[in-house]
Structure formats: C-alpha cells, structure tokens
Structure 1
Amino acid sequence: MTIGVSVVGAGFWAREMHLPALARLPGVKITSVVATTEESARRAAEPYGARALTDIAQAAADPGTDVLDIVAPPDVHLLAVESAASHGKHAICIKPLARDLDEADRMLAAVRQAGTRLFYAENVPFIPALHEAKKVVDAGGIGDVFRVKACEGIGEPHSDWFYDPARSGGGAILDMAVHSLEFCRFFAGAPITGVYAEAGTFVHNGRTGVEDTAVLTLRFANGVIGQCEDSWSLVGAMDSRFEVYGTRGRILVDNLHRQPLQVVTGTKGWSYPMPIEGLVADGHLAMLGHFLDCLRTGAPSLSDGQVGRDVLAVVDAAYRSVTSGQKETVR
C-alpha cells in the first residue's frame, strides 16, 4: 500500500528531517510540498519529484494524497488539520500541537467528525537511546522510578516567527518544554497532576517578550516528581539530556555530547559529529514510519493528537503558574 504524503511547510525541519525521512520509508510517495511562496515550495519539492504548492486546501484535495504532514509554524496547525479532515485526509502535526487548548480541542473535534486520524509528531518517545533506557526501566533494572528530569536547550530559535507569540503561541515553554514533558510522562508512567513553573526572558529580551528560559517542577498522579529545564538561552551550545532515578539505580542519556567520536579541526575546538545521522538518532525516521504503519494496520499510535493535547494542558498550567507564582493543577 503506497501512502501519499503532502508536507505542509518548507522550513528547516521539513527540509532536514521530515522530507528526507519520508523519502527513505518504503511505500511512501511525497506528493507535494506546501509553502508560503512558490520559490520555497519548489526548492523543497524538487529533490523528491513532488509538486510545489502554496495552497493547503489544494494539497488536501489531491486524490493522490492520503496524509498532510504539517511541519509549519503553530498558527498554521489548526487550519491545516481542519483542511485535511474536511477532505477526508489524515494529518501528522509537529509539536506543539496547537497554540492553545482551544485550538487543540477544535483539531481533535475535526478529525473525530471526519473519521480521520491525527498523529502528534513528538520525536522524544522514538529516540533509540530512550527506547533502550525504557527497556531497562520496564525490566526493573533501576527499581521503582521516583524522579525524572529533562533538559532541552538551544541558543536561539532558527526562525523569526518563534519570537512572535501571535504565530508561535508562546516561548520556550511551548516550544521546548513540550519535549521535556513528553520524556517525563513517558518514564513516570502516569498523568501530570500539578506544575510549578518559573520563567523569564534573559538573553532575547531585546527581540521578544516571551520567555526564553523556564524551569518546571512536576508532580505525577503516582507520586513521581519531575523537573524540566528548557530554554532558548543556552548561548553557543545545545542541550538534550534526560535522567531517570529509581530506588536501585539511575539512568543518564546525553543525546548530544557524550558521543564516541570527538574531533578537533583547526581552531574550531572540539566537535562531536554524530555517528548516527540526526533523523535516526533523534527518532524522526522511526516516528514517521510508525505513524504510516498505524495507517496501514489501524493500530493505535504511541503519539496521537490526544497526547499532544494532554501536553498542552500541562503547558497551560505552567503558564498559569508563572503568572500566579503558585503550583497550578493540570485541567
């Protein structure tokens, strides 16, 4: 069964992760790329023999397209999912699912009414190192898990639209903490019930009023404690670290810096070229393959629209906590 996929978005993440991953998956045809300009759509589409479009509805109406893979800014997500659903097409939506809970609920309602599926493209549960760590935890290798921690940081967003809350919906909490929250949920094994959050704008305060730094403390329904450190303020570096603490051991996964291959080139200092390419090491290839296999078989997905909505409910509580200065309940 060949599945036709239209990729909505032609920015960094579409070009570097989703399009190359889709091209490597068997039984997948990239039918089109949708962008805001014909030039950017054509540049992204040409290597894959796909059509270049500027109209999401036109992509959704294509009889050769089965799925819209939405890799565009959050202000496009609701429109694209509703367009897919109105044409009887499935949707894959990059994180965050939406700018707020209202939009997420409208997206879920649209796919329910259409009888289509919505997948939440959060790569964290598909990272190979975390799958190996989960096997250790599930086998009882570190005893009972009582604390989880994630650190996700970058120096700055890769596009100007991140700084505009009308388009992005928020700052580092909505953009980065969604990764950390999904890791914590994955290993705690229970819903998050309460959040206390501190946030501020320290590095990019000349460009935006949204937070570039945040620390979230979580409490899960089963008593597990979680912590998320997330930022756009890690100057000159990136961070992607995960920790799991159990009663008989602990696990540390550094997805960026603890690589077996380390190189010094000229005056550039140490670099850490990944021995496994990013779309594999970060789980994007496995994630998209999983979604498309779910469509072929009808199997439930590890990461669907409801998961994305549940993460946004925690984000909502975190923003309320930043304002109130108190721990807030997840609604």
Structure 2
Amino acid sequence: MTDVSVLVVGAGFWAREMHLPALAQLPGVRIAGVVATSEASAAAAAGPYGATAWTDLDRALEATGADVVDVVAPPDVHRPAVEAAARHGRHAICIKPLARSLDEADAMLAAVRAAGTRLFYAENVPFIPALHEARRVVDAGQIGDVFRVKACEGIGEPHSSWFFDPGRSGGGAIIDMAVHSIAFCAYFAGAPVTSVYADADTYVWRGRTDAEDTAVLTLRFANGVLGQCEDSWSLTGAMDSRFEIFGTGGRVLIDNLHRQPLQVAGAGGWSYPLPLPGLVADGHLAMLGHFVDCLRTGAPSRSEGTTGRDMLAVVDAAVRSVASGRRENVHSTVPQGGRP
C-alpha cells in the first residue's frame, strides 16, 4: 500500500481542526470523504479538501473504496463505525476514548480480529514532541530513576453538548480527560497500572449533567511507580495540559499550552525548546503519520486498539473506586481470542 485514502467519520471540532488538516499534510494521503449526521455539516468539513460528503457510512465505504476509516465522532458512534469498517474489510483509526465501556471495546477488537483488519487508537499524548524530548532526557538518566508521574488536563467546558450526556459520551471528565493523563503516566512509568483510587464530583456543571466534571486519580503501577491524574471540565476560564516526571536525581515539567512547553532540571542542566505549531505540538500530525506508515509497511503500531482498551480498564477501575470509596484493582485481562 503506497497511496492511502481515508474516510473521516465526524465533522465536529476535532475532525475540522485536527484530523482533517493533519491528513491533508501527509504525502500520499487522500481524504476520500467525510461522514456526518447531517449533509450540511459533512459538506462543510469535506469542502476545503475536495472530498465528498456522506451521511451513510456503509454507502460511503462502498462508493469511495477508502482504505481506512478515521473515527472522530462522539463515543456512541465508535463501535458501529469500527464494526462497519471491519465488515467492509477496511482498517480503522478511532479517537479517544476507544469506546464507552470495556464491553464495547472488546466487541470492536473482536470485529477487527474476525475481519483481519487493524484498529489504531488515536490518543495524541504519546506523540507530543515535548514528551519525546522528555523521554530522551529520562532514558539518558538525567533525572535518575523515575518514581512518580503526574498529569493535569483541564478545560472550562466541553466543546459540544453531547459530552454532558453519559449515554453518548460514556461518562464525564474521567473517560474524556483522564484518558490523556493515564496515557502520559503509563508512557513514563513503563509498567501496567495495577490499581486506582479515585475521587470525583460535579461542581460547575451540576445543572447540565450527572457526570463528574472534576476528578483526581492516584495510580499504582506494577513496578511501584506512583501516578497522579488531575482532570476536569471545571477549570473556569482556562485550560491546563501539564505533565511532570519525578526522578531520584531531578524533575521534568512539560507545560504544553505555554510558550516554552518543556523544562528540565537534572544532570543536563535546564533546557527550553522552541514553541511549535499546534498540529505538531499536540502530536496529531505525528500520530496520523505513524498510523499511515504502519498501514503501508505492516509494522506494529505504538498505539493499537488494545492500547485504548488498556486505558479503558483504568477508567473502569477509577469509576468503580469513585462509587466504592476504595482503591480498586484494574481488570486488564483480555477476553478469549487474545490481542489482534
């Protein structure tokens, strides 16, 4: 596979502002069409790229012959879209969270296994350039042994009303925001999460949803590393995207929303890399480029669908912890059939 054609499912913020512009920059990638619930929204998103607008995914798959479906729609669309792609023998990319529940994620993975296709998990955090530089610093031993990792992901309000409906979104700030924080912590802890203690409540958006708008998670990894996740829809008037790595000989701070996103204090001194454009700084261009390369070469991906399931297993434990008031173990066992 050399040229790759992509059918994008979704015409909202992330499709318009991140995935479509990133795909348009990748050599040898053609945007075959955009599928949305209304023809007007599909046309508005597809127009700048000369792509066709659709409201029916099956018809779009039959007509366009697209190689891969990029699902950038609300979570209630993820399972049916990935299963449709699998029925047509097409690969799929799915934005976070992979699904609304572990059961849905397992059904998606089963469909992909049966079809012999691939499912990529579009979590941009591990592709952020500043994190790659931080990983180089950590791997070089500049901050000693990592023993604690921390992430803060906060916004003032979700960008669409469907987030407030747990039936569509799968939950609140934990499944929407903490998946980013968990991905960061796992990237630097270097081991699976074994247990979670979480506390959460609804403070700012109580009149609009029963889902939590604020959550704090404490993770314990199999190698003893501690993780902290602070995630919210309640950061009124502001945004937050900060990551920290604590080692026995130093510390790394990544502030991804400000002019100097990475600060390192350790054996190598202080470093301040230059700011990067949004598509690059947030990792979306690198992530989608990586997926396309994997499709072309058949190489393993750094973010398969099973990675998204692993994140949901941590989310599941966190939600159980909020309900029980106790630390809960992560149920990471993969159903019969194994990982694709």
On whether the aligned pair clears a TM of 0.5, the verdict is yes
Report matched runs for 1:158-177 at 5 Å: 158-177=159-178
Q: How many residues align?
A: 318
Counterpart AA for 1:319 = V
- After TM superposition, give the deviation of residue 185 of structure 1 in Å: 0.2
Instruction: State the Cα distance separating 1:255 from its structure 2 match.
Output: 0.3
Distance, in Å, in 2 between the alignment partners of 1:67 and 1:151 is: 33
1:275 shift after superposition: 4.4
Q: Distance in 1 between matches of 2:154 and 2:326?
A: 24
Q: Distance in 1 between matches of 2:61 and 2:305?
A: 19
Does residue 9 of the first structure (1) align with residue 18 of the second (2)?
A: no
In the other structure, the counterpart of 2:337 is: none
Letter in 1 for 2:314: V
Normalising by structure 1, report the TM-score: 0.95
Determine the C-alpha separation between the residues in 1 that align with 2:60 and 2:201.
40
CA shift, 1:64, in A, is: 2.7
Return the letter of the residue paired with 2:29.
V
Deviates more, 1:276-285 or 1:234-243: 276-285
State the alpha-carbon separation in 2 of the partners of residues 124 and 165 from structure 1: 24
What is the match of residue 113 of structure 1? 114
List structure 1 segments (4+ residues) > 6 angstroms apart after TM superposition.
Answer: none
After superposition, the C-alpha distances for 1:251-293 in whole angstroms (9 at most, x for unaligned) are: 0000012449xxxxxxxxxxxxx94221111000000000000
| Residue matched to 2:305 | 305
CA distance in 2, matches of 1:61, 1:92: 18
**1:1-331 mapped onto 2 (5 Å cutoff):** 1-62=2-63, 64-259=65-260, 275-331=275-331
Cα distance in structure 2, aligned partners of 1:84 and 1:171? 27
Counterpart AA for 1:227: Q
* Superposition TM-score, scaled by structure 2 size: 0.92
Distance 1:302 1:167 in 2: 28
Among the aligned pairs, what percent are the same residue?
76
Q: What SS does the aligned partner of 1:230 have?
A: strand
Residue of structure 2 in register with 1:268 after alignment: none
In the aligned structure 1, how far is the partner of 2:59 from the partner of 2:302? 30
The alpha-carbon deviation at position 62 of structure 1 amounts to 3.4
Distance in 2 between residues matched to 1:61 and 1:325, nearest whole Å: 49
The amino acid of 2:140's aligned partner reads A
Cα distance in 2 for residues equivalent to 1:70 and 1:317: 25
Matched-pair contact (CA < 8 Å) for 2:75–2:99: yes
Offset from partner CA, 1:38-68 (integer Å, 9 cap, x none)? 0000011011011100011122223530000
Equivalent-residue separation in structure 2 for 1:56 and 1:63 (angstroms): 10
> Equivalent residue of 2:149, what SS?
strand
Partner Cα distance (2:318, 2:62) in 1:
38
Q: Which runs of 5+ in 2 are unaligned?
A: 262-273, 332-340
**Aligned 8 A contact 2:32 2:64 in 1:** no
Moved more, 150-159 or 131-140: 131-140
Q: CA RMSD in A?
A: 1.0
What secondary structure is seen at the aligned counterpart in 2 of 1:62? helix
* In structure 2, C-alpha distance between the alignment counterparts of 1:6 and 1:288, rounded to whole Å: 13
The gaps in structure 1 that reach 5 residues or longer are: 261-273
